[in-house]
Homo-oligomer: A and B are copies of this chain.
Amino acid sequence: MKPLILITNDDGVEAPGIKALTGVAREFGDVVVMAPRNNASCLSHSLTTQRPLRVYDVTKEEGLEVYCCDGTPADCVKLAVPQFCTRKPDLVLSGINHGSNSSINVLYSGTMGAAIEASVLGLNAIGFSLLSHNHQTDLTPCIPYARQIIGHALEHGLPEFVSLNVNIPHISADKIKGIRVCHEAKAQWLDSFEQRIDPRGQRYWWLTGKFVCDNPEEDSDEWALTNGYVSVVPVNADFTAYKAIESLKQLE
């Protein structure tokens, strides 16, 4: 039986990134797409608990079923696996996100929230992101790397409770030097809110800020991306800081 690949994203079912990723996935097996109906960026791992979800049929053809719903990316995975997949998916993909999810952006990312959820469900999962927010950006430089990493995951599987956070630099295909397996770079968002006054004299605040990552280490994702590599960071769904346990034992 062909592999079954479930795909979601956080830019919405109509985004060019998910269509490109669906094209690659179909080379490997049957595909089910369940994606947010609209943009669902920055929703991290959030779930919809206060209202039910609606699902909308988009297209159905040989080897491909596309649905969208009014939930978050993590909802899409949770809902699609038991309800819309006829068998257990061999792989869950999220993206291709329009914008970086490197470094600490994995914390906020709906794309990676979906991938982490899949890993918690015991599934192999990969999130892909391109370092351009422009939906018109040419996605073809991403394709060979998506193909290689998907092929690897289907052949070898991924470690338990681990998903992959793949970021692709926004440069022409011939400038990309290859793949680097990395850790998250330490970084910060600075100056993160801008205060404004509305026409009625009331204050309100826009989230803004500047991503700062000074002197990233050579084995970090920011270094890899800055130097023309595709970065692959394995992401742990167990958030325990094991190294910190010993020093806290005096609390007992």
Contact = CB atoms under 8 A, between A and B. Distances in A.
Contacts of A233: 240
Interface string A100-141: 000010111010010011001110000000000000000000
Contacts of A215: none
A204 to B, nearest CB: 4
Contact of A45 (B107, B161, B241): B107
Interface stretch (A15-23, A24-32, A86-94, A179-187): A179-187
A148 interface: yes
A192 interface: yes
Given A46-B108, A162-B241, A248 B181 contact: yes
A48 B183 contact: no
A17 B87 CA distance: 43
Contacts of A178: 252
Pick the most buried of A110, A192, A202: most chain B CB atoms within 10 A of its CB: A192
B242 A183 contact: yes
A195 B244 contact: no
Contacts of A196: 52
Contacts of A1: none
Interface in A215-252: 232-245, 247-252
Given A52-B196, A83-B195, A181-B245, 9 more contacts: A43-B44, A45-B45, A46-B46, A52-B204, A179-B251, A181-B249, A182-B245, A184-B238, A234-B241
List the 5 closest A-B pairs by CB distance, nearest first. Answer: A234-B244, A236-B241, A44-B45, A234-B241, A44-B44
20 contacts: A39-B50, A42-B46, A45-B107, A46-B108, A47-B207, A48-B207, A53-B193, A55-B203, A75-B207, A78-B193, A79-B205, A104-B120, A107-B116, A107-B239, A178-B252, A179-B252, A234-B244, A235-B239, A235-B241, A236-B240
